[in-house]
Amino acid sequence: MTRKKEEQILNDAIPPDTKEGADSASEPTLLAREVTASPAENPLMGPRIYVGPNLPGGRLLQSTVFRGGVPAYLQPLLDEQPDIAALIVPVDELSEVQAKIVQTGTPEYVAYQAILKGGIANGI
């Protein structure tokens, strides 16, 4: 499958009410990794992985890897739920953070639990 075809499939998967404008040729795709800041300005740059729970509606799935930093289209979600950003960690810290997620009282555990409770209550 070509990259253009993959982009079209992903674009078609975006619900119409979330698309901006009527012209689909000019809108960004999920494969376009738009980043709003440099690595020094944005701590979410670089290869990172989301270790939190799956969010309803497929908004963000556990183990999603961001190779070029966190894409701009996730910014509203991160603003809504700051705990999500706490669980987007450098790939090389994955095993350490996963161990902390199950350890009661750690910031990672608290963030994970808050996302679980917030996601269910707020329909994230």
- Please name which of 16, 44, 12 lies closest in space to residue 30, comparing C-alpha atoms: 12
Q: What average pLDDT score do residues 64-72 get? A: 90
Which tens digit of pLDDT belongs to each residue from 75-111? Answer: 999 999 999 999 999 999 999 999 999 999 999 999 9
What's the confidence (pLDDT) of residue 9? 55
Say if residue 41's pLDDT is above 90: no
Q: List residues bridging with 48 in a β-sheet.
A: 66, 90
> Stretch 1-22: mean pLDDT, rounded?
52
pLDDT of residue 37: 46
DSSP SS3 for 50:
strand
Reported pTM: 0.61
| Residue 36: pLDDT band with limits 50, 70, 90 | very low
Cβ partners under 8 Å of residue 65, min gap 6: 47, 48, 49, 91
Edge-to-edge strand list for the sheet holding 65-66: 65-66, 48-50, 88-90
